[in-house]
Amino acid sequence: MTEPTTAPLPTDDPIHGSILGNRVTRTEDPGLLVGANNYLADLPLDRPLHAVFVRSDLAHGTINSIDVVEAKMMPGVVDVWTAADLGIAPHHGFAKIHDDFARPPLAIDRVRFVGEAIAVVFAETQAQGVDAVQAVLVDIEPLPSVTDPEAALAEDAPLLFPEHGNNLAVADSPDAALDLEATADVVIRGRYVNQRIAVAPMEPHGCAAAPSPDGRLTVWPSNQFPHYVKGQIAASLGWSPEDLHIITPQVGGGFGGKAGMQHEYGVVAAAARRLDRPVIWVPTRTEDMQAMAHSRGQVQYAELGCTRDGTFTGLRVRLVGDGGAYPGIGAALPGGTRRMSHGTYDFPAIDFDVAVAATNTAPTGAYRGAGRPEATALLERLVDHASHELGIDPIELRERNLLGDDVFPFTTLTGNVYDSGRYRLPLRTAADAIGYDDLRAQQAERRASGDPKQLGIGVAAYVEITGGGGSPEYGKVEVHTDGSATLYCGTLSHGQGHQTTYAMILSDQTGIPIDRITLVDGDTDRVPQGGGTGGSRSLQTGGSAIHRATEAIVEQARALAAQVLEADPADIVIDRSGGTIGVTGVPASALSWGELAAKSEELTNGPLAAEHVFKSEGASFPFGAHIAVAEVDTETGQARLVRHVAVDDCGTVINRLLVEGQQHGGIASGVGQALFEEIRFDGDGNPITGNFADYGFPSAAEMPSFETHSTETPSPLNPLGAKGIGEAATIGSTPAIQNAVIDAVSHLGVRHIDMPCTSERVWAAIQAAARGDADPWRQPPPVFATLPKGLTGDAEAAEAADGI
Ligand code: MCN
């Protein structure tokens, strides 16, 4: 890359020139920094009972008996329940894929994964509960288990749900078969494993519940979606949603894993009501690692057709997904991978089949990106692989095939409508920022000198979907007589900094100081409706609702000020720097927002407030390019990330500091998946990565300082022009880092290394290449020959998958 590149801000964008786009520091941090906020375990509950679950230590088996007699007599134990005591019918929790896979909150007759809840102890203290769990005697007859999704689709595989007839949870084969060979000079082929990883939020999931004085039940789930959870708990218990008041405490990270209802919530809610006491369930880290949904878990048979000059002629993918023991939302995510498989490229044809299997493992669910990282990963692996085979520079090959700036709105072959994009800009910006030509020269020098430490440069271009699923969002603004303001929103901030950005939006139009604005979220009594936070939807939906509500309150304020000041509303001006409203040219007469709020109460008997429900016409599609530099020790296989440049385009940036924070966090997630993390099971289905000692969770020591940039291509779909940023950098970074590791050893003949690119794997790939055995291709499993055409799997689950 020699051409100098820049990332100009759009000149016609009215947002810039205001405080929006600034690096405003987070107003929510003081409470977090001094530990003043209440996480779930800190809730001031009155003598709560501690729920401790008895969990299966077998991956598959039939339950002969459960003996709770001794446990019930243990000190501090108030009760012990099995499924028969609980009396909650099997249900689908967050999302239904198929009726057959309903899950009982406490196992009935059969267990299907290690960690499945079988019984629950309610005790005065957590320690007493843990002791009593040891005294519950469960007799299980082991059954053969299957943890590998490909093995689960074999004809002779042990069946998780014999009545279902096979382990096929979802079959999604909507396209006609594509004859890639007919149009391509070269077909690039790879079998890529996008490994199962843990969500691992800093605070495990969990919940508490307590009877309220008004006869209802208050439930505090550590969750991203309070309003959905309200409906889901009510449905599972057969209660009316009005019987429930959901309040999310401070949530210590969610990353998709706290999206939707956990089956344990219903147990805790039912117990609080029946035992008429507060009940709290705080799982251990191991419990969280075993039973909270894992994510990714795909085997991708991917093929890219190219002409000799590097023009893509088509994409063919056969994808095997892992739905885990009770396929639900995780089984819908490979459909999202398919929908995002058009990527940033100008493909003439795509043929993409999905088969998702039930396996004897924890059910799968969302994790940062939820289906989109897997799409980008397979595309960007194929493109880098093609670049090595065709001898075309990876940036040049991408540029030859990227969609042009003039195609938007663009309808993909897989049914998405990309709202706006400029795909070459971030790629050129990233190449420029990292000094691409210099790096290639350094790489050539190291190769020529035979240095055992080789340099790899990994490129990835991506597009992703945010604000999918179509949920509307609620926002309300209320100005108080002391000049402060309260915002109400149906999203749920759990680390993202919504109070700060939403306050910037209100402050920008009114001049009310940001530090005098507070946000109320995560309370279903105080916020009437909400879509929660997932799918990086919050700013573009919740922020837009706040923006529209602010516009409405400004109009109200104008009318009120005109009445009070006896002026024409057309002459009323808002002084945003002083935070006052007055008549143009007469600053002395101006009213403060507090005075205006008082006037509102006096003249209208109501507060100065406005609300808005924002519904976008469609999802938005952020995009970008990442370039990673890895150093690989060819003697030990150790790979180290030494530089990482991210250029992400999330439309109009509202708070630059927060966007950079999300880029940093997103890249860190990518480092984890690309180099370190993998959930593994032994041959009997026992998880062998059950805590942070066994699971390769990276720390800051394994990461360089990230170099982050933004380009800004506004979305036409919301008044802010914003798209999401919460997952983007994970999607871009993961394949860039993987590609960098492979690029470092590509001159030795290596064409692919599955993630995580551990020393062992890299070393083995170098040895295999030396033996002339570096071809990652294998035939897709026979199941694809027999997949039914047409989508099967629940349509609502597919919509939910686009929204997380
Ligand atoms: N923002 C901005 N300008 C934009 C886009 C976003 O200033 N154009 C700001 C927003 O105001 C917000 C933050 O950036 O403060 C992220 O906004 P957005 O992209 O709308 O994402 P959400 O707030 O909806 O957060 C969800 C997203 C997801 S899906 C995962 S997974 C993830 C992520 O956020 N989980 C997180 N980042 C996380 N960060 C923390 N600390 N904890 C998690 O659990």
**pLDDT 10s digits, 33-49:** 999 999 999 999 999 99
Distance 251 CA to ligand 1 centre (A): 14
pLDDT in tens, 402-443: 999 999 999 999 999 999 999 999 999 999 999 999 999 999
Cα 579 versus chain centre, distance: 38
- Work out which ligand 1 atom sits closest to the CA atom of 539: 20
Contact (CB, 8 A) for 361 and 294? yes
Instruction: Calculate mean pLDDT across residues 482-509.
Output: 97
Q: Residue 221: CB partners within 8 Å, gap ≥ 6?
A: 205, 206, 207, 229, 246, 248, 258, 261, 262, 265
Instruction: Calculate mean pLDDT across residues 179-206.
Output: 96
Q: Which protein residue's CA is at the shortest distance from atom 32 of ligand 1?
A: 255
Confidence of residue 193 (pLDDT cuts 50, 70, 90): very high
Q: Is 722 in the pocket of ligand 1 (CB under 6 A)?
A: yes
pLDDT in tens, 436-471: 999 999 999 999 999 999 999 999 999 999 999 889
Distance 690 CA to ligand 1 centre (A): 28
Q: Residue 547: CB partners within 8 Å, gap ≥ 6?
A: 475, 505, 719, 720
pLDDT in tens, 664-690: 999 999 999 999 999 999 999 999 999
- Work out which ligand 1 atom sits closest to the CA atom of 253: 44
Instruction: Calculate mean pLDDT across residues 91-103.
Output: 93
The amino acid present at 320, given as its one-letter code, is: V
Residue 722 sits at φ, ψ, to 5 deg, of: -90, 150
Q: Is 262 in the pocket of ligand 1 (CB under 6 A)?
A: no
- Work out which ligand 1 atom sits closest to the CA atom of 370: 31
Q: Which of 725, 730, 731, 804 to mutate to test the pocket of ligand 1 (most atoms within 8 A of CB)?
A: 725
Q: Is 659 in the pocket of ligand 1 (CB under 6 A)?
A: yes
- Work out which ligand 1 atom sits closest to the CA atom of 659: 14
Instruction: Calculate mean pLDDT across residues 539-562.
Output: 97
Contact (CB, 8 A) for 657 and 642? no
Q: Which protein residue's CA is at the shortest distance from atom 40 of ligand 1?
A: 495
Distance 547 CA to ligand 1 centre (A): 17
- Work out which ligand 1 atom sits closest to the CA atom of 804: 29
| Nearest in space to 621 (alpha carbons), one of 385, 496, 734, 463 | 463
Is the pLDDT assigned to residue 14 strictly greater than 60?
Answer: no
pLDDT in tens, 256-303: 999 999 999 999 999 999 999 999 999 999 999 999 999 999 999 999
**Sign of the dihedral defined by the CA atoms of residues 406, 407, 408, 409, in that order:** positive
- Work out which ligand 1 atom sits closest to the CA atom of 495: 41
Instruction: Calculate mean pLDDT across residues 514-521.
Output: 97
Amino acid 3: pLDDT: 32
d(CA 292, CA 295): 10
Distance 498 CA to ligand 1 centre (A): 8
Instruction: Calculate mean pLDDT across residues 304-312.
Output: 97
Lowest mean pLDDT among 159-163, 337-341, 362-366, 790-794: 790-794
SS (H, E, C) 562-589: HHHHCCCHHHEEEECCCCEEEECCEEEE
Amino acid 6: pLDDT: 36
Q: Residue 799: CB partners within 8 Å, gap ≥ 6?
A: 469, 470
Q: Which protein residue's CA is at the shortest distance from atom 41 of ligand 1?
A: 495
Instruction: Calculate mean pLDDT across residues 43-56.
Output: 98
The encoded tokens of residue 207 equal 């919940």
Distance 239 CA to ligand 1 centre (A): 33
Q: Which of 496, 620, 650, 709 to mutate to test the pocket of ligand 1 (most atoms within 8 A of CB)?
A: 496
Is the pLDDT assigned to residue 1 strictly greater than 50?
Answer: no
d(CA 632, CA 642): 10
Q: Is 655 in the pocket of ligand 1 (CB under 6 A)?
A: yes
- Work out which ligand 1 atom sits closest to the CA atom of 651: 8
Cα-atom radius of gyration of the chain, to the nearest Å? 27
Cα pseudo-dihedral 341, 345, 346, 350, rounded to 10: -20
Is the pLDDT assigned to residue 12 strictly greater than 50?
Answer: no
Is the pLDDT assigned to residue 21 strictly greater than 80?
Answer: yes
d(CA 426, CA 447): 29
d(CA 340, CA 728): 13
Amino acid 13: pLDDT: 44
Q: Is 206 in the pocket of ligand 1 (CB under 6 A)?
A: no
Lowest mean pLDDT among 1-5, 329-333, 396-400, 786-790: 1-5
Instruction: Calculate mean pLDDT across residues 475-488.
Output: 98
pTM of this structure: 0.96
Amino acid 778: pLDDT: 85
Instruction: Calculate mean pLDDT across residues 362-376.
Output: 97
> Is 693 buried (19+), middle (13-18) or exposed (0-12) by CB count in 10 A?
exposed
Q: Which protein residue's CA is at the shortest distance from atom 27 of ligand 1?
A: 726
Q: Is 643 in the pocket of ligand 1 (CB under 6 A)?
A: no
Distance 96 CA to ligand 1 centre (A): 26
Q: Is 718 in the pocket of ligand 1 (CB under 6 A)?
A: no
Average pLDDT, the chain: 94
Lowest mean pLDDT among 47-51, 153-157, 794-798: 794-798
Distance 724 CA to ligand 1 centre (A): 7
- Work out which ligand 1 atom sits closest to the CA atom of 493: 23
Amino acid 794: pLDDT: 67
Strand, coil or helix: 760: helix
Q: Is 538 in the pocket of ligand 1 (CB under 6 A)?
A: yes
Q: Which residue matches tokens 């382990």?
A: 167
Q: Is 497 in the pocket of ligand 1 (CB under 6 A)?
A: yes
pLDDT in tens, 738-779: 999 999 999 999 999 999 999 999 999 999 999 998 777 888
Q: Is 650 in the pocket of ligand 1 (CB under 6 A)?
A: yes
Distance 327 CA to ligand 1 centre (A): 27
Q: In terms of pLDDT, which residue wins out, 173 or 160?
A: 160
- Work out which ligand 1 atom sits closest to the CA atom of 650: 8
> Is 69 buried (19+), middle (13-18) or exposed (0-12) by CB count in 10 A?
exposed
Q: Is 533 in the pocket of ligand 1 (CB under 6 A)?
A: yes
d(CA 688, CA 784): 31
- Work out which ligand 1 atom sits closest to the CA atom of 258: 44
